[in-house]
Amino acid sequence: MNETSLLSFARGYCLSCRERLQTSWTYNNLFAWREAKLCDTCAGQLPAITGPVCPECSAPGHVDVCSDCLSWRRHTGDKGWMKNVSLFHYDDWMQAWTARWKFRGDAVMAAAFYHDLRRVYRQHFRGFVPVPVPLAPVRMQERRFNQAEVLAAALKVPYVLALERPDGEVGKQSKQTKRERLQTVRGFTVAAPDQISGRNVLLIDDIYTTGATVREAAQVLEAAGASLTASLTLIRA
């Protein structure tokens, strides 16, 4: 039986380019079909991470643990740290998408990646309790939403707002150099230790750059009783 279309119809708009979506059902995809959020052109531009990656941070092009992760081991021990898994590279397309999503308030755009996030969660972190990385209050006031909480909600498993983050960061992280990010003190505190004690915790954030944010948060959670910590991030810069 060939891929002759049984039904073709327009359904919604691409979340990226706003072109009308055209959906086709065939005999082969009739029972596996899911609603697309991006048109074929935009979906084809997604910079998915493929090939060998660092097993601890998803840095592309590494067969073994990368030098950055070895440095984290030496400086912090990371006894309870498991790994970070990221889905996409931070190329020009993803950078433009992130700017619309985070800085222009287009929060609904994250829906394009919900299916992939749930797939990776089931594959690598089934049973972990998701904990979104919080924004500092001043950032929350600016954006009106926490992008990490949007991603955590997409997993469709109960998540816990276990962390708090005070004001006082030195500038926006997107404007900082790698060295500045590593030197910034973020001062996470655990707001709900009873909900993470003795459990495996999965930190959720949008971008993994140096690892400073999720690894510092992981250390705080481990000190509060978390058994293992890991992170799931949409983008690996």
Q: What is the 8-class DSSP label of residue 99?
A: I
152 and 109 housed in the same domain: yes
Q: Which two tokens mark 171?
A: 């500038």
202 and 108 housed in the same domain: yes
Number of compact structural domains in the chain = 2
Measured CA to CA, the distance from residue 188 to residue 178 in angstroms comes to 20
Beta strands in the chain (DSSP E): 5-13, 20-26, 81-89, 129-132, 163-164, 189-190, 200-208, 228-236
Measured CA to CA, the distance from residue 38 to residue 47 in angstroms comes to 14
Q: Is residue 82 part of a domain?
A: yes
Q: Is residue 145 part of a domain?
A: yes
pLDDT digits (tens, 9 = 90+) for 157-195: 999 999 999 876 544 555 555 444 444 446 899 999 999
Q: Is residue 50 part of a domain?
A: no
39 and 108 housed in the same domain: no
- Which residue range is the domain that position 24 belongs to? 5-43
Contact 16, 97 (CB under 8 A): yes
102 and 188 housed in the same domain: yes
Q: Which two tokens mark 183?
A: 């030197």
Q: Which two tokens mark 28?
A: 């082969």
Q: Is residue 58 part of a domain?
A: no
Name which of 177, 170, 162 is nearest 222 in CA terms. Answer: 162
Instruction: Spell out the per-residue pLDDT of the chain, length 237, in tens.
Output: 344 443 433 458 898 888 888 655 554 544 444 567 888 899 999 999 999 999 999 999 999 999 999 999 988 876 899 999 999 999 999 999 988 888 877 878 889 999 999 999 999 999 999 999 999 999 899 888 999 999 999 999 999 999 999 876 544 555 555 444 444 446 899 999 999 999 999 999 999 999 999 999 999 999 999 999 999 999 999
Q: What is the 8-class DSSP label of residue 136?
A: P
Q: Is residue 55 part of a domain?
A: no
Task: 108-116: list long-range contacts, CB under 8 Å, 24+ apart.
Answer: 108/15, 109/15, 109/16, 110/147, 110/150, 110/151, 110/154, 111/15, 111/37, 111/154, 112/15, 112/16, 112/37, 112/38, 113/87, 113/151, 113/154, 113/234, 114/37, 114/154, 115/34, 116/87
pLDDT digits (tens, 9 = 90+) for 12-31: 889 888 888 865 555 454 44
Q: Is 87 helix (H, G, I), strand (E, B) or coil?
A: strand
91 and 11 housed in the same domain: no
Global confidence as pTM = 0.85
Q: Is residue 61 part of a domain?
A: no
Contact 225, 197 (CB under 8 A): yes
Measured from the Cβ of residue 162, the count of other Cβ atoms closer than 10 Å reads 28
Give the containing element (helix H, strand E) for 213: helix 212-223
Contact 208, 177 (CB under 8 A): no
CATH code (residue 76): 3.40.50
Task: 10-19: list long-range contacts, CB under 8 Å, 24+ apart.
Answer: 11/35, 14/38, 14/39, 14/42, 15/108, 15/109, 15/111, 15/112, 16/42, 16/97, 16/109, 16/112, 17/41, 17/42
